[in-house]
Amino acid sequence: MKKAILALEDGRTFACQSFTGPGEASGEAVFNTSMTGYQEVLTDPSYRGQVVAMTYPLIGNYGVNPQDVESDRVQVAAFVVKEYQPVPSNFRSKASLGDYLIQNHVMGIDGLDTRALTLHLRNAGAMRVFISTEDTDPLSCVRKARAISSMTGQDLATVVSTPTPYRWVQETPVPLEGDFRRLSLAVWKQRGQRRSVVAFDYGIKYNILRLLEASGCEVVVVPASTSAADVRRMEPDGIFLSNGPGDPAPVAYAVQTIRELLGYRPIFGICLGIQLLGLAMGGVTYKLKFGHRGANQPVKNLKTGRIEITSQNHGFAVDIATLNPDDVEITHINLNDQTLEGFRHRTLPVFAVQYHPEASPGPHDARYLFDEFNRLMAGH
């Protein structure tokens, strides 16, 4: 344990300690209200560049294991908890949370009032933060927090996206080899047996790929910068737009690609995917005050009237008022703040949601969306 300080850009500071040894970390301070699933939070690429504070007080109870990851590494800039539990108790545990963070060179912080931090972020909004065990002068740390780049204007999709295409086979990423490296119709090995889906990786979670495969799809994951021409050469049955971190507005290359693919094949988007799709349809995105991060967000399905309990992780949203109602039908809204949670195109086979149907908080309230994607592909 090392004494540390957590300093926010507005001058608020918290005395704390590091349970992962000495170090410094910085990013955007946000909070997550989930009671479990901290390993999924840590490895979700949508958290790239963020210092995540958990509102549930005891974290580390069940350790970590290789099965619960959502990417190939820890993505958060630092992890903040009220009270770290160093001795895990679970039959699936393979290591402690502290050891896992140390191995991934990520700071773990505890010993501060996460309730006070959460309330402050709710009132003042998500903001830049600096954490250090080396520099414990409050004024110096606040100055360093103010020098950090803002999340607004950052294209982080290129940072977390895969550099090369790969197949998703039996819960494992398999790199394309030999002639298959060139994106074409030849990449598909189960053409005709399974629906062929091109998944754009803006920070894709593994569980999305697991559910696409489980729903009968053969999935090839491509980099965020992949062109519409490359996709057309592959001749897929459907196109998936993934979740991801950062501001959607500067990801202009992806917006242009999506715009060129509208009407070509059925498209399904999640999280950052809906934001990029909204921009491609002429909408505007904006930054939420403190975002939606947790596994208890109530969303109303306007078509059925049912309420879905959803898992969410985003700091930006599409402005409903900027979408053309002649082209776009709003299908889901957030019951807490009435923000956009889902839409579909009125004439094209295109739909998307802001929340994460693969995260199973309901636990299966939103699984139907993967079946809907399959129906669209079957009918196209």
Which tokens go with 169?
């086979």
CB 357 within 8 A of CB 366: yes
**Rounded distance between C-alpha atoms, residue 195 and residue 378, angstroms:** 8
**Rounded distance between C-alpha atoms, residue 214 and residue 192, angstroms:** 16
Reference 48, options 66, 72, 23, 19; nearest CA is 72
> 3-class SS at 43?
helix
Q: Name residue 313's amino acid.
A: N
Which segments of the chain does DSSP mark as H helices, in order? Answer: 38-43, 97-103, 114-124, 138-146, 157-160, 206-214, 228-234, 252-261, 272-280, 368-379
Cα Rg of the chain, angstroms: 21
Which tokens go with 313?
């992780």
> 3-class SS at 16?
strand
CB 195 within 8 A of CB 262: no
Which tokens go with 332?
């889901």
- Catalytically annotated residue among 16, 141, 217, 271: 271
Using a 10 angstrom Cβ sphere, with 0-12 exposed, 13-18 middle and 19 or more buried, the burial of residue 328 is buried
**Rounded distance between C-alpha atoms, residue 331 and residue 142, angstroms:** 43
Which tokens go with 298?
């109530």
- Is 356 among the residues known to form the active site? yes
Residue whose pair of structure tokens reads 């540390």 in the numeric block:
4
H/E segment holding residue 167: strand 166-169
Beta bridge partners of 78: 51, 107
> 3-class SS at 361?
coil
- Is 358 among the residues known to form the active site? yes
- Count of Cβ atoms closer than 10 Å to residue 270 Cβ: 27
Q: Which residues are catalytic?
A: 271, 356, 358
